[in-house]
Chains A and B, each alone.
Chain A
Amino acid sequence: MGLTRRQFLERSIEACGVGTAALCLNGCGGTWSSTRGKARVWGGPGRRDGQFIKPRAIAANGGEVFVVDVTGRVQVFTPEGDFKRLWSTPDYRNGTPTGLAFDPQGNVIVPDTHYSHILTYDRSGTLLDQWGEYGKAPGRFIYPTDVVLGPDGTYYISEYGLDADRMQVFDASKKLLRYWGGTGEAPGQFSRLMGIEMNSKGLLFVADTGNHRIQCFNSQGSLIRVISGAGTESGRIKFPYQLALAPDGTVFTCEYGNHRISRFNADGTFVATLGGPGRAPGQFNGPRGVAVSDDGWVFVADTDNHRVQRFRLEAWS
């Protein structure tokens, strides 16, 4: 035990206090339980199939869940977390993709963020298309972070870089149609543009990460509203990285800075939040990805815990 006698006596006195306190407390508290339902957790740190090293983005489509991590692997799981298959992006040494998207045919679109191009894979991982050039000029990319496809096949691509935080829109033949934004704090400007989502009405939700807010535009780039702002209290957000739209039109965002997932209505009103820093199920460590499936499952890329967690949509109500 390595205690001196004096230390022991001191500790004994301390222990009497502790013991008494423990006895007093015993039975006074209730049981700890998550009242919001159970989380299913899978993954864990590693490079084996089904393991992750910092999962960076997550997406759910057609009954499958896609996760990309910093080793550049796109892994495909069942909604239950069973590993199905994987493929790797051409290179990941500069950095990894930060988003995942799907075209109407169900092909997987990967913005290869640190290589300044957009990759399209079929569901089995065969590379179908690769486009985009490095550059600050409109039509080129520095760090493309996320992609959504409009109903007419137009590509909406979010991007950041040195003074080049902007949204760019390309038609189906990859011709630049328009762009907007710019680096800054004013509404309509961005600071590190990360996840984007488009709802059925054609409204574009943009995670303006460095400004701790979500901006909502119409497809032409006119600002409709700004949702939330910096803070740690419920309804405020800190470093929202990715967005996800629920079937009911509500917007989910993962807060890297607050280690939680928040849900907002499309009109910007706050619905609920879940999580907090930690390793227990239902807690997160720097989450950078969130996805919602059509059948109401919410998947979270719990990045710094190297795992994925799944919840029911109702947990945020």
Chain B
Amino acid sequence: MYFPRFAFPWALLLLLAIPWSIYIGMKIRSLSGGRKWTAILLRSIILFCLIAALAGAEWVRKTDKLAVFFLLDQSDSVPEDVRLASAQAVRNAAEQYMTTKDEAGVIVFGDEASIELAVGPKLDLRKIYSYVGREQSDLAGALRLAMAAFPQGYKKRIVVLSDGNETRGSALEEVKLARSAGAAVDVVPLIIGGRNEVRLREVSAPGRVNASEPFRVRVVVQADQDCKATLRLFQRAGGAKRLLQPVEVTLQKGDNTFLLPQELSGAGFYEYEATVESDADTILANNESQAYTIVYGEPRVLYVEGNPEESTFIAPALLREGVKVDQVHATEIPVSLATFQNYDEVILSNVSSTDLSADQLKLIEVLERDLGIGLVMVGGPETFGAGGFQNTPVEKALPVSMDIKQRKILPRGALVLVLHTCEIPDGNAWARDIGLAALEVLSSQDLMGTLMYGGQGDSWLYTLQPVRDKVRMRQALRSAQPGDMPAVEPTLRMAYDALVGANAAVKRVVIISDGDPQGPSSGLLASFAAAKISISSVCIAPHSANSEEMLKWIAQRTGGNYYFVTDPQKLPQIFTKEAAIVKRGLVIEEPFTPKVMHDSELLQGLVEEGLPQLRGYVATSAKENATIPLVSHEQDPILAQWRYGLGKSVAFTSDATNRWAADWVSWKGFDRFWAQTVRWAMRELKPTGFRVETSAKDGMGHVRIDAVDEQGKFINFLKPEGVVTGPPPDLARENLSLMQTAPGIYEGSFPLGNRGLLEQLAIAGGGRVMQAEENPFDHNLPSSATVTPLWLSLVIIAACLFPFEIFVRRVVVDFGALWAFALAGMRKLPGLKRLVPHPKPRPIVATGTYGGVASREYAYASTGNEPNLSAGGAAPPAAQDGAETPVETPAAQVAARTEYTRQLLAAKQRAQEKQARRTGPITDDKDKENP
């Protein structure tokens, strides 16, 4: 269906000008009827076109055609028979419901997403050919792909057939985007298994207990029929999983509740996992459930050392002061929220951001903000800004910012990125992200350039230049499409040529590649080394060990770093760190005595005798709400503290080793300083009369608080607030509202697991949760419209018609004369002379004529009472008529011409007389008025 539409309809009021112009046009007396009306018509069309263009005319094509993309989950969490059944369901739906108004396509997803069948009028899905890997479930990628692959001008529907077990990306975000782009998202939850079911409905344990306090773990098992089953309870603590004694039970149809008595002696975080096994069971996925318990005990600190070769002084100092410390290396940092629950504080000493995964960085922030676990970051040359913590979640949690804008003198750095990322999945996206990560670190006085291999060979995405126009650089990075680089030599040579003359204190190239391109010559690397330009290389997805060698060699020869990356998530941090190295001004190695800025409990009893000297620190800037007890000689923060969310954090930008703090480690106040600092930031756990119980039931998480005061009375009318933190990597944060359900009892619940996700998708996507048999080709979506702006075409039409309009008004075409001219011409052609008749002699009717075309003037009726003589050769209406009449003989022609001239003269005379009559008295009056 087609119809026009106007963006600024009020401009259509101007159409009123058209009748007016017609009225004016009709008053033209000097034109014959046909020409007059042609001129009026043309002018009206021109006016209409211009007004319609001003009103923003658009051509809207509404279509009722529907395009449906089926997204099939191919990940391992969906058993093969279900995968086949889902493909069959798509086939059936297409056969049963697809009409000529529908088109459909199929996208399959697992580790990645791939178009199995593009949208077309036939859905010929006999077999799934695409291989997408089964270890992950990238639903978000599939949604993104579907939106990109939808044809224009269709109503769009996405039907997701999945178990909702999303492991990568955020499908919810993609669905919101799809919704805003006009697509509806329906979901078909893949039900795995049959009817005969034994399922674990609930496991609950008290949230917190005291050591050696008996408690019970409650397990509810639901059975569809009477049967026997084995109930197993596992206890997980600090990574070790222990099976408690299995229980043989007889289940009755319906819910069966079991209370398993427990007692825990050691403090820490305990997870309980229950499983049920029965022969009368079909789905195994719903046979387990978890709950957790925290046992109060003495606070514990997790001390993470970035450089294991350096002897540490903090951990022994804390032990001497009676703080329990577990010391680990940076690579051994826990990855789960549960393991962190064993600790009340985390100390990161000289830990680089590249030692932590993106998930861990996020986790550490969440621990402090939502769980109140303290964070202490101790400096060193590999941490804070120099360790690439800029723009990470950890930076948010710290009282100092890595951005050091306020420092006036900083050496200039120059960085060239060489991007060869096309060999990894989403290579272009990674190229963009790492480029942006590096760009964010650099300031306007630093230089940056980016090289890659594109359609035109090795080329600069943007040349080496001061980082002033970050917006343009970001745009360039976002649109980067690195191709497969055959050799690194030309690229590195371009980088060398640009850097060698650059005015910068630190010059660096960072190359990311799979190591497959032909390596550079050793001569080129020698010139890099001679010019003190280092090359860091990042190897990702190499073809073989040989590919790694080349990149390692480049880094070794030029004094750069070599990184071997298996997880692309770490790439942005590497580039942040490398960019930070270019800004070497971050690490300041000069002796100074820290100055006390503010009183603080951290320094209680220590400053009176004066603080020992420090020999270096990492430059940072203080955040607005932070307290800065100690500053350096250049007023940079040395010690900073603040509260963040539920937790507290401390930054000590110098170190606690012999490198910068040799005088401190031998200082008698050293132990006390660190003990005070660590104790201040420690999580506060005050035992209360509140008993918190968490449980999982029917896909929902439940929290129940029993609030009892010291006298054992219920505490009523509280307004408890809760926060639910999801599992890594997303660590989704959701507020939990708790309602009082009974005296002293407050309860709240939140969705768990996967069916929830699919439902959320359907809600966010404006679609439905469907059964496989339902019609996915329902035309209940609003029609999709394709809008074509028309203003340009209208303006062009008006511009083209305008000369014609003038032509019609101003030029008389004497068709008879033209015919005669044509005949005369044809007679000149050999052979045609006899056939073509001799043209009849024609009178030449007006002065200035040429080839039978006479120029004329027209007069409006308002002035038509007098003959218009302003332009040369104007003729009164009578003469006009005469012009159209052929005159027979030359004598008659002469007579006519004489007559015409005579008439003209007479008219002129009359006009002059009239003018004299009219102007005479007026002049007289004027004279009288001006004596």
A residues near B (Cβ < 8 Å) are 1-3, 5, 8, 11-12, 15-16, 18-20, 22-23, 46-49, 71, 94-95, 114, 134, 142-143, 160-162, 184-185, 191-192, 209-210, 238-239, 256-257, 259, 277, 285-286, 304
In the complex, what distance in Å separates the CA atom of A142 from the CA atom of B549?
A: 12
Cβ contact within 8 Å between B546 and A161: yes
- Among candidates B489, B549, B789, B795, residue contacting A12 with C-beta atoms closer than 8 Å: B795
Cβ contact within 8 Å between A1 and B800: no
- Among candidates A1, A134, A257, residue contacting B791 with C-beta atoms closer than 8 Å: A1
In the complex, what distance in Å separates the CA atom of A185 from the CA atom of B792?
A: 57
The residues of A that contact B549 with a CB separation of less than 8 Å are 162
The answer to the question of B593 belonging to the interface, with a C-beta cut-off of 8 Å to chain A, is: no
Q: Which residue of chain A has the shortest Cβ distance to B489 in the bound complex?
A: A210
Given contacts A5-B8, A11-B791, contact A238 B457 (CB under 8 A): yes
Q: Which residue of chain A has the shortest Cβ distance to B458 in the bound complex?
A: A257
Closest Cβ–Cβ distance, residue B313 to chain A (whole Å): 44
B residues near A (Cβ < 8 Å) are 7-8, 53-54, 56, 58, 114-115, 129-131, 455-457, 483-484, 486-487, 489, 516, 518-519, 521, 543-544, 546, 549-550, 553, 787, 789, 791-792, 795-796, 799-800
- Among candidates A1, A22, A277, A304, residue contacting B7 with C-beta atoms closer than 8 Å: A1
In the complex, what distance in Å separates the CA atom of A142 from the CA atom of B920?
A: 113
Closest Cβ–Cβ distance, residue A161 to chain B (whole Å): 6
Cβ contact within 8 Å between B457 and A257: yes
In the complex, what distance in Å separates the CA atom of A257 from the CA atom of B483?
A: 11
- Among candidates B130, B483, B489, B789, residue contacting A286 with C-beta atoms closer than 8 Å: B483
Cβ contact within 8 Å between A304 and B483: yes
- Among candidates A5, A160, A285, residue contacting B455 with C-beta atoms closer than 8 Å: A285
Given contacts A47-B114, A210-B487, A257-B486, contact A3 B544 (CB under 8 A): no
The residues of B that contact A161 with a CB separation of less than 8 Å are 546
In the complex, what distance in Å separates the CA atom of A162 from the CA atom of B515?
A: 10
In the complex, what distance in Å separates the CA atom of A46 from the CA atom of B546?
A: 30
Cβ contact within 8 Å between B800 and A23: yes
Cβ contact within 8 Å between A192 and B799: no
Closest Cβ–Cβ distance, residue B145 to chain A (whole Å): 13
Interface of B is mostly: mixed
Cβ contact within 8 Å between B519 and A15: no
The residues of A that contact B54 with a CB separation of less than 8 Å are 5, 8
Closest Cβ–Cβ distance, residue B541 to chain A (whole Å): 10
Other contacts beyond A1-B58, A3-B791, A94-B544: 12, CB < 8 A: A3-B7, A8-B53, A20-B799, A23-B800, A46-B130, A47-B131, A95-B543, A142-B544, A160-B518, A162-B546, A239-B487, A286-B484
Given contacts A20-B799, A192-B486, A257-B486, contact A142 B792 (CB under 8 A): no
Cβ contact within 8 Å between B543 and A114: yes
Query: Can you pick out 13 interface pairs between chain A and chain B where the beta carbons lie within 8 Å of each other?
Result: A1-B56, A1-B791, A3-B791, A8-B53, A20-B799, A22-B796, A46-B129, A47-B129, A162-B553, A192-B518, A209-B487, A256-B486, A277-B455
**Most B Cβ at <10 Å: residue of A8, A48, A304:** A8
Top 5 closest pairs, chain A to chain B, by CB: A19-B796, A192-B518, A95-B543, A210-B518, A1-B7
Interface of A is mostly: loop
Given contacts A20-B799, A114-B544, contact A162 B519 (CB under 8 A): yes
- Among candidates A22, A23, A143, A277, residue contacting B546 with C-beta atoms closer than 8 Å: A143
Cβ contact within 8 Å between A8 and B791: yes
In the complex, what distance in Å separates the CA atom of A286 from the CA atom of B544?
A: 23
Q: Which residue of chain B has the shortest Cβ distance to A161 in the bound complex?
A: B546
Closest Cβ–Cβ distance, residue B787 to chain A (whole Å): 8
The residues of B that contact A256 with a CB separation of less than 8 Å are 486
Closest Cβ–Cβ distance, residue B630 to chain A (whole Å): 51
Q: Which residue of chain B has the shortest Cβ distance to A194 in the bound complex?
A: B486
**Most B Cβ at <10 Å: residue of A15, A48, A185, A192:** A15
Q: Which residue of chain B has the shortest Cβ distance to A257 in the bound complex?
A: B457
Given contacts A5-B8, A20-B799, A210-B518, contact A142 B789 (CB under 8 A): no
In the complex, what distance in Å separates the CA atom of A257 from the CA atom of B491?
A: 13
The residues of B that contact A18 with a CB separation of less than 8 Å are 792, 796
Closest Cβ–Cβ distance, residue B904 to chain A (whole Å): 40
The residues of B that contact A285 with a CB separation of less than 8 Å are 455
Cβ contact within 8 Å between B546 and A3: no
Cβ contact within 8 Å between A239 and B486: yes
The residues of B that contact A23 with a CB separation of less than 8 Å are 800
In the complex, what distance in Å separates the CA atom of A162 from the CA atom of B53?
A: 65
In the complex, what distance in Å separates the CA atom of A15 from the CA atom of B796?
A: 7
The residues of A that contact B796 with a CB separation of less than 8 Å are 15, 18-19, 22
Q: Which residue of chain A has the shortest Cβ distance to B488 in the bound complex?
A: A210
Closest Cβ–Cβ distance, residue B426 to chain A (whole Å): 15
Cβ contact within 8 Å between A192 and B487: yes
Q: Which residue of chain B has the shortest Cβ distance to A44 in the bound complex?
A: B118
Closest Cβ–Cβ distance, residue A12 to chain B (whole Å): 5
In the complex, what distance in Å separates the CA atom of A142 from the CA atom of B54?
A: 69
In the complex, what distance in Å separates the CA atom of A240 from the CA atom of B532?
A: 34
Cβ contact within 8 Å between B487 and A19: no
Cβ contact within 8 Å between B486 and A94: no
Q: Which residue of chain B has the shortest Cβ distance to A15 in the bound complex?
A: B795
